[in-house]
Amino acid sequence: MAETVLDYEAEAAHYDRTRGGAPRAEAAAAAVLRLVPPGARTLLDLACGTGLVTERLVRPGLRVYGADAAHAMLRVAAGRVPGRTVRADARRLPLPDASLDAVCAVWLLHLVPFAADVVAEAARVLRPGGVLIATVDKDAAHDVGSDIDAVLRPHRRTGAASDGSGPIARAAAAHGLVPAAGARFTGHGQGATPRDTVRKLRAGYFASWFQGDPAVVDALAAALAALPDQDRRRPDPRYRLVSFVGRG
């Protein structure tokens, strides 16, 4: 669901436990690998976080690197893909032009207001014919038709999402990257509960939908608190990945 930008330095301690752990990471890595061309020899996992997905991308003949802006996340990743991590802002990678066969970004673009700059930087480091793979439309994936969604849907503003598939495709096109393929993966353990959703609502996760209007927050919290089975997870979302290929 739409998140305020979290403090990932603090989040590192809880991240693997709260983001679906190994099952979600397995699903994400398998979906990314479906979009990596068979001949690719290098893959950068941009915003690799704790490396939970990164380590599952490693294949014979495929050299996998991870980059992330948060020290604490990267420290965990460094234990998973030793010697293959770098601390970097996704807009300014310490890599030469045209140096990689593939770049992936799982769950990054929805977080940042500068997604187009990230796409531009990925295009810069990709060799001709290289592939960018990224999650798009993350918020929309959370609308699984549950009773929670029925409460939130009237307020959901997916059109404004920074990882909207339309704007991302336009940013890619501006840098010579053309749409190639798509894949989906299950966000194991990411199904919402009413109680958790109230907590997130109070913490400001959805503030951008209604400018944080306290009256709306109170009304939505009351409606969510009235739902049955406060701690039962609703169905897991299915996240969307798209790939773009550079002109060779």
Ligand X SMILES: C[S@@+](CC[C@H](N)C(=O)[O-])C[C@H]1O[C@@H](n2cnc3c(N)ncnc32)[C@H](O)[C@@H]1O
Which lies closer to ligand X via its Cβ, residue 208 or residue 230? 208
Which DSSP string do the residues of 65-88 spell out, in sequence order? EEEES-HHHHHHHHHHSTT-EEE-
Q: Does 68 bind ligand X (CB under 6 A)?
A: yes
Q: How many residues bind ligand X (CB under 6 A)?
A: 19
Q: Select the residue whose beta carbon is closest to ligand X and give its number.
A: 49
Site for ligand X in 147-186 (CB under 6 A): none
Which DSSP string do the residues of 89-145 spell out, in sequence order? -TTS-SS-TT-EEEEEESS-TTT-TTHHHHHHHHHHHEEEEEEEEEEE-HHHHT--S
Which DSSP string do the residues of 146-160 spell out, in sequence order? -HHHHHHGGG--GGG
Which lies closer to ligand X via its Cβ, residue 8 or residue 244? 8
Q: How far apart are CA 120 and CA 223, in angstroms?
A: 42
Q: Does 53 bind ligand X (CB under 6 A)?
A: yes
Q: Does 73 bind ligand X (CB under 6 A)?
A: yes
> x/- contact string, 112-151, with ligand X (CB under 6 A)?
x---------------------------------------
Q: Does 76 bind ligand X (CB under 6 A)?
A: no
| C-alpha dihedral (169, 4, 232, 143), degrees to nearest 10 | -30
Interface contacts to ligand X, rule CB under 6 A: 8, 19, 28, 47-49, 52-53, 68-70, 73, 89-90, 106-108, 111-112
